Amino acid sequence: MSRNLHVLASDEYEGRETGKKGQKMAAEYISNQFKSFGIPPYKDNTYYQTYPLNLILPVPADVTINKKKFIGNKDYYNFPGLSEQTITSANVLFLGYGIEEENYNDYKGADVKGKTIMILSGEPYDAAGKSIVTKSKQPSTWTTYYKVKTEKAKDVGAAAILIVVNDMEKGIADNKHRLESSALKLNLPQKEAPIIYISKEMADAILKKTTTEKIIAKISKSGKPLKIKAKANVVVDIKNNIQKIEAENVLGYVEGTDIKEELIIITAHYDHLGKEGDVVYNGADDDGSGTVAVINLAQAFTQAKKEGHGPRRSILFMPVSGEEKGLLGSAYYTENPVYPLKNTVCDLNIDMIGRLDEKHEKNSNYVYLIGSDKLSSQLHNVSEQANKTYTNIELDYTFDDEKDKNRFYYRSDHYNFAKKGIPVIFYFNGVHADYHKETDEVQKIDFVKMEKITRLVFFTAWELANRNQRIVVDSNKK
Ligand SMILES: [Zn+2]
């Protein structure tokens, strides 16, 4: 695992960004490993499932207020990947901070549907500088106010969402990287309300009779939500510049014996964040660690097969790409499965197993398991039993709690399988200081810990592949 990870997480692989040179090099490296173990290509001389992607280049929308044309990335900004459309509105609903439910209750259904909504960014403070948002409505660290607000606005059918940014210059500087990066999508986005971040001057041009500053002061004093119906002609025009590109999932298919039509899938994402100038995001833990674990598992099962102990069910070892861009590779596979989903018993997904999180700083003998009992109590039991018999790792189920604000269950490739009703286990060490930073380097990997977790996946997969009865789907937990 160390040898493979020193290759895949080296600067030469340029951070393995989906669609770019480093990702292609990684795909080739992984398929060469599969080949060297004696795994044949799954079809027509290839290990690849190649899928099409739309690279949406960063082009700001055109925004006009009362016939005055404003300038993108100066007066306002928007992230790339909005759906192409032109939205013209004669009224704008200004909903203050747009956090409190009350704001939306008055504007349900027909009132909001198809309208342009304007909301202030951040949260309201009282004179003493304390937030006046009800505690229960304060979002977690991961779910930002933006997300809470914009999802609600989309839910009620807004046509466009204008978010008033306190400091436009800072907003543009803080988001420079995202504003200059292309968006990557499997399909062209469905018509969805665009989010445009506008300056206070633009908001004032919409309000006319009052100013943003005055309203902020008013909310701070009264502590009450506010809504204003402003008569203003706002046009948002979005035209995209799209390049068609391709990316690859790598498939190592080890055929089973007497129950070979049934399939266990073991996934990890081999893509990462790429590079910015000379800074390479090597992603040794995320998810170089899972990728080399899958390579090793493929080798172990192939070796067993050569020695006459091949699995009864087939096993698909599938490092996927596109995860960092929105779980794209696994989404493509589950929409275009090579082997029927109804014969797919489960997905064991490994994403980050080489490091320690803060909670376990002093104890490397742990792994978070996520989702193991959500669809199949039998899968959970198989996993528990494998650990008890062979590995004795502390299995931490903290993140199975639906109330946990990190929502990790929804954030890696297994989720695309779970969505299709296929039981999953997500193996994860939690986040750490180097998560999504250029400092996620191979020197910091704990290979002893990684090996132990990989063995747990091995014993679990072995039982799932060889037991008489296929595990059944017997629950549907959130
Ligand atoms: Zn990851």
Together in a domain, 77 and 178: yes
Whole-number Å distance between alpha carbons of 296 and 286:
17
Whether 475 is covered by a domain: the verdict is no
pLDDT in tens for each of the 478 residues of the chain? 999 999 999 999 999 999 999 999 999 999 999 999 999 999 999 999 999 999 999 999 999 999 999 999 999 999 999 999 999 999 998 888 877 655 554 444 446 788 899 999 888 888 888 887 776 666 665 556 677 778 777 877 889 999 999 999 999 999 998 899 899 999 888 888 999 999 999 999 999 999 999 999 988 888 777 788 899 999 999 999 999 999 999 999 999 999 999 999 999 999 999 998 999 999 999 999 999 999 999 999 999 999 999 999 999 999 999 999 999 999 999 999 999 999 999 999 999 999 999 999 999 999 999 999 999 999 999 999 999 999 999 999 999 998 888 889 999 999 999 999 999 999 999 999 999 999 999 999 999 999 999 999 999 999 999 999 999 999 888 7
Together in a domain, 179 and 103: yes
Together in a domain, 111 and 233: yes
CA 19 to chain centre: 17
Asked whether 58 and 240 are in contact (CB, 8 A), the reply is: no
Together in a domain, 306 and 277: yes
Together in a domain, 116 and 165: yes
Calculate how far, in angstroms, residue 354's C-alpha sits from the geometric centre of ligand 1.
12
Whole-number Å distance between alpha carbons of 265 and 277:
36
Whole-number Å distance between alpha carbons of 7 and 435:
20
What's the CATH code of the domain at 46?
A: 3.40.630.10
Whole-number Å distance between alpha carbons of 281 and 299:
27
User: Pick from 187, 203, 238: which residue ends a domain?
Assistant: 238
Calculate how far, in angstroms, residue 77's C-alpha sits from the geometric centre of ligand 1.
28
Whether 290 is covered by a domain: the verdict is yes
pLDDT of residue 189: 80
Calculate how far, in angstroms, residue 329's C-alpha sits from the geometric centre of ligand 1.
13
pLDDT of residue 180: 92
pLDDT of residue 16: 98
Q: Is the alpha carbon torsion for 139, 141, 145, 148 positive or negative?
A: negative
Calculate how far, in angstroms, residue 101's C-alpha sits from the geometric centre of ligand 1.
34
What's the CATH code of the domain at 179?
A: 3.50.30.30
Q: How many domains does the chain have?
A: 2
Calculate how far, in angstroms, residue 364's C-alpha sits from the geometric centre of ligand 1.
19
pLDDT of residue 144: 65
Together in a domain, 291 and 398: yes
Together in a domain, 197 and 309: no
Asked whether 402 and 478 are in contact (CB, 8 A), the reply is: yes
**Cβ neighbours of residue 410 under 8 Å, at least 6 residues apart?**
none
Whether 405 is covered by a domain: the verdict is yes
Q: How many C-beta atoms surround the C-beta of residue 251 within 10 A? A: 25
Together in a domain, 231 and 254: no
User: Pick from 238, 268, 291: which residue ends a domain?
Assistant: 238
Whether 472 is covered by a domain: the verdict is no
User: Pick from 238, 255, 284: which residue ends a domain?
Assistant: 238
Whether 478 is covered by a domain: the verdict is no
What does pTM read for this prediction? 0.88
pLDDT of residue 142: 54
Measure the N-to-C terminal CA separation of the chain; round to a whole number of Å: 34
Whether 148 is covered by a domain: the verdict is yes
Together in a domain, 420 and 442: yes
Nearest to 379 by CA among 331, 425, 410, 344: 425
Calculate how far, in angstroms, residue 425's C-alpha sits from the geometric centre of ligand 1.
15
Provide the residue range defining the domain that includes 233.
62-238
Calculate how far, in angstroms, residue 265's C-alpha sits from the geometric centre of ligand 1.
17
Together in a domain, 80 and 206: yes
Asked whether 322 and 247 are in contact (CB, 8 A), the reply is: yes
Query: What residue has token string 């008890």?
Result: 388
Whether 291 is covered by a domain: the verdict is yes
**Cβ neighbours of residue 335 under 8 Å, at least 6 residues apart?**
none
Whether 476 is covered by a domain: the verdict is no
Together in a domain, 175 and 260: no
**Cβ neighbours of residue 103 under 8 Å, at least 6 residues apart?**
95, 96, 225, 226, 227
Calculate how far, in angstroms, residue 326's C-alpha sits from the geometric centre of ligand 1.
10
Calculate how far, in angstroms, residue 7's C-alpha sits from the geometric centre of ligand 1.
18
Together in a domain, 274 and 402: yes
Calculate how far, in angstroms, residue 426's C-alpha sits from the geometric centre of ligand 1.
11
DSSP-derived secondary structure for 55-102: EE---PPEEEETTEEP-BTTTEE--S-PPPEEEEEEEEEE-TTS-SHH
Secondary structure (3-state) at 478: coil
Nearest to 452 by CA among 411, 371, 395, 377: 395
pLDDT of residue 110: 47
Calculate how far, in angstroms, residue 194's C-alpha sits from the geometric centre of ligand 1.
27
Asked whether 206 and 120 are in contact (CB, 8 A), the reply is: no
**Cβ neighbours of residue 72 under 8 Å, at least 6 residues apart?**
60, 61, 62, 63, 78
Calculate how far, in angstroms, residue 135's C-alpha sits from the geometric centre of ligand 1.
31
Calculate how far, in angstroms, residue 366's C-alpha sits from the geometric centre of ligand 1.
18
